[in-house]
Structure 1
Amino acid sequence: MESEEEIEFFGFVPVTLVAELQGEVEAILKNGVEQLSALDRRKVHRVSGTLLESFRRNYFIFSNFVLRNILRFPASFRLERKASDVVVTVDLQSITNDLVSVLEEEDYYEAEVQRQREIIEIERYRLESYRSLLEYSKPVVGLVGSIGKACKELEDVVRLYNKMCMSSSADDEDYNALLEYREVRSSLAKKERDDLLAIASEEVLAMMSECVEK
């Protein structure tokens, strides 16, 4: 935090500037000593060490003076950021938890909406099937009723025929009339049955007949 304030005021960090200056001066001193061709290698190393030691000792005093008395904030100075910025404490964990909870709820409701859409599609398909079945059943209902009547009449004819066969008093004319009536009703019943089978199969007709009876 302190280095940020120094950068805001000076434009640089004082300690860093002093350290970099020391490094540059030491490099210059080393190069200067090494360029003394009159000295041999051991003497150059000794002179360089003595010179750097003396420089560092004096530079330490210099850097402390500069940092304490020159590169420091004025007594009346106050950072604009400190004067105007409002520090806001935010509970990030709580916000994160709330966000995760909201996202989970969103996923749940999206899945629920999709499920309801699928249910609606199934019910719509079922309704269309019922409508089609009802539409096709209208012409069949009348034929089913006619077949029922024809079957009942045929049963009556069979019973009457059996009864007449057992009775020896029946004359030939009545017997022939009965046979003719039986043949006509059988022909009508067969025609109605063929008409029904032309519309739908026996399984569909049986199912429709059960629906009508209910």
Structure 2
Amino acid sequence: MSGLKSHDNHILMQQLLPVAIRNILPKHVRSIVMKLCCYYKKLCSKVLNPNDLVQMENDIGKILCDLERIFPPSFFDIMIHLSVHLATEAKLGGPVHYRWMYPIERYLATLKSYVQNKSKPEGSIAEGYLAEECLSFCSLYISSDVETIHNKTSRNHDDGGDENVLPIFSMPGRPIGATNVERLNYDILALAHSYVLFNCSEIDFLRTEHLTVVRRRQ
């Protein structure tokens, strides 16, 4: 299974599955499945509380016992049993998103796409990797008029090339649905103005000019 597909299943179980089964399964079934989804959602959060992990170690045993009352024995393979040890592993290793395999699996899927001769997969991967490296190196010496991997426009670049927009206000991506225009009050406008003054490098020359004028007045 590729890393992208694994990550999609990861999101599906944590966020979408509890909503999908809310009005479909019986209450005693969906409540247990929702508890399992909540367990994984807490486990994959960016911040972990050691006290919560201790409670999760106790809860996962009860959750699996309740699942055994609902699902057949064939459902409980080694992957289901692995859930018992995940909270303990998080206590020892910290947040799981620093250690999970999704980026590695994505790169393995890229290497797998290089295979053209299934009788010689290692040679195909080595040849495909070498060809990509050579093309990437040669593209550095091609004129800027030719689109290469180094100068192509990002697929999320939707600012339209407006040079008058400061980078901190750049919003790549396209909005979904109708646009909602909202006027800012003076307090928020003052905060935005202060943020630009102290954090935007594009107006460094204006700050320098202002300091020069103030020093002359003194």
TM-score tier (shorter)? under 0.3
Q: TM-score, normalised to structure 1's length?
A: 0.16
The structure carrying a bigger helix percent of its residues is 1
Larger Rg: 1
